[in-house]
Amino acid sequence: VFELVPFILLFPVFGLLTNLIFGRYLGERLVGIIASGASAAAFVVSVIQVFALVNNNFHVETVLIADWITIGKLYLPWQIRVDTLSVTMMV
């Protein structure tokens, strides 16, 4: 379930890109539906993360998105930490 965390970021980005690229052709109503749908989808995934964290006895999970910077011994991953504070901010 924690693998869904990247979609919290991706849904609004996809909505933004869709509206930026095709917005002038879609009409104001459909653009609003896409924007609201992207936000709603991110909210639903956030609520799923709350229940997953509760079912996991509030054990902190770290979800790796990608390796961001690797230079010699310096390793900076792009990851999201799912804990009580982060799910509160997600919702």
Task: Return the pLDDT at 1.
Answer: 83
Which secondary structure element, helix H or strand E, spans residue 4, and what is its range? Answer: none
Tokens of 41: 């989808």
| 63, part of any domain | no
Considering the entire predicted model, what is its pTM? 0.85
| 64, part of any domain | no
Which candidate, 11, 17, 54, 56, places its Cα nearest to that of 36? 11
Number of structural domains (the chain) is 1
Long-range contacts of 2-5 (CB under 8 A, 24+ apart): 2/49, 2/52, 2/61, 2/63, 2/82, 3/63, 4/45, 4/48, 4/49, 5/45, 5/49, 5/63, 5/80, 5/82
What is the mean pLDDT of each successive set of 10 residues along the chain, which is 91 residues long?
A: 92 97 95 97 96 93 92 93 92 90
* Domain span holding position 28: 2-57+84-90
